[in-house]
Amino acid sequence: MNLQLIVATSNQHKVQEIASFLGSEARCRAMSDLGHPPSVLEDADTFRGNAVKKCLSLANYLRTNTELWTGLFERGEIGVLADDSGLEVDVLGGAPGIHSARFAHMDAAGQRGNAPDQANNEKLLGLMTGIPEERRGAQFRCVLALAWLGEGLVVAEPLVFEGICRGRILPGCVGKGGFGYDPLFVPVGFDRTFSELGSDVKNTLSHRAKALSGLREHLRLRSRTRTC
């Protein structure tokens, strides 16, 4: 059984990253390949809530737009995948959390949408000024939500896969690679930041890699079950 995943993002880089990790378990496509789905207000108070909301929004958009899904079922089973992820710092009570991408804009009048990585990093460093190393614990969290479109285009209750990567926050940025908070975050068991470790190492231990591992196992089981 050929499994297809429509990923709730227009970011082709993210789709390629997910597709590379899942390999032959599923074919991945960006939602931008299927028209112009409505944007989703990510107003839930948890990563899980936002991921599920995005997932169901895209699934129901596909379900109600016949011209988008006609013929897709002939090429295999369709699943809709969405994610939400971010950084949670212990001493800040889990902040920036669900606001990770727009952290620097939260207190700025008139600023909307995501903030530049540098601005987010500078705000975080400012809030953690003087915090000793033993209290600089943090974690990246990723939540994936997957809903299958069944016969009659019934949207199944989303399955959720979660991954966490523990580490600590440095007092300054180190490294040129990566994105977001990567230059500040040193994962447990390492002495270099995600920026320094590079994507090959990061993708074996990151929060997203752990969540995708759970998803990959689900796809393998589903594929075997459907072909029996």
Residues marked active site are found at: 84
Q: Are 138 and 87 contacting, i.e. CB atoms less than 8 angstroms apart?
A: yes
Cis peptide before 96 (omega within 30 of 0): yes
| Torsion from C-alpha of 33, 37, 39, 40, nearest 10 degrees | -100
**What is the DSSP code string of the chain?**
--EEEEES-S-HHHHHHHHHHHGGG-EEEEGGGGS-PPP-----SSHHHHHHHHHHHHHHHHHT-HHHHTTTGGG-EEEEEEEEEEEEEGGGTT-BGGGGGGGGGTTSTT--SPPPHHHHHHHHHHHTTT--GGG-EEEEEEEEEEEEE-GGGPBPPPEEEEEEEEEEE-SS---SSSSTTGGGEEETT-SS-HHHHHHHHHHHHSHHHHHHHHHHHHHHHHHHHHH-
